[in-house]
Amino acid sequence: MTRCIAYLAVAAALANAPGRCSHDDRASTGSASSSGTSTGNWTSLGATACATYFTADVTRNLLADPPGTPKTLSAQSCSLHTDGGNISVTLIADNAAGFDAFSKNLVDPHPLTGVGDKALQHMIGIAAFKAPSRVCTIDAVGAPGFVKLSGDALGQALGAVCNKLFAAKP
């Protein structure tokens, strides 16, 4: 039953994701262009984020089981599978208003400090925003004990990956 609820939460979050139809770094309001900051197609980093940022050191401290080979899910997302569960990263181009609207659909959100301009930790992972138009989501869904960390420690570990992605250039 708990696993079904988690899958429903993932489906709802993905269906209501900010910028879910957007595949470039221009937010729906054009904030990336109007700010004078060109970020290129930042969301394209999502396809290789799992291979690039979930290094052996990161996964050794984070996961109970060794991970498999990272997989590209789309031009803006990837996943890392273990025997116990799955971590997925999705990068989205959207503005602060879009992020706030998306955040209303998260299950049990609470603020996560030190990640982007604003971030939330929720039932299955984190969602973070960095101005003008970068959203990073990382979800960890699996059997109990699939991740070694929990609570704030898990949020900060996943947030560190989002912070590296926010700083990266395509």
Q: What pLDDT does 109 receive? A: 97
Separation CA 108–CA 56 (nearest Å): 30
**Maximum distance among all Cα pairs of the chain, rounded to whole angstroms:** 49
pLDDT of residue 103: 97
User: What was the pLDDT predicted at 139?
Assistant: 98
Architecture of domain 2-167: 3-Layer(aba) Sandwich (3.40)
pLDDT in tens, 70-106: 999 999 999 999 999 999 999 999 999 999 999 999 9
The answer to whether the bond into 67 is cis (omega within 30° of 0) is: no
Quick one: three-class SS letters along 23-60? CCCCCCCCHHHHCCCCCCCHHHHHHCHHHHHCCHHHHH
Structure tokens belonging to residue 62: 């984070």
Residues of the chain with pLDDT under 70: 1-40
Could you tell me the residue ranges of all domains in the chain? 2-167
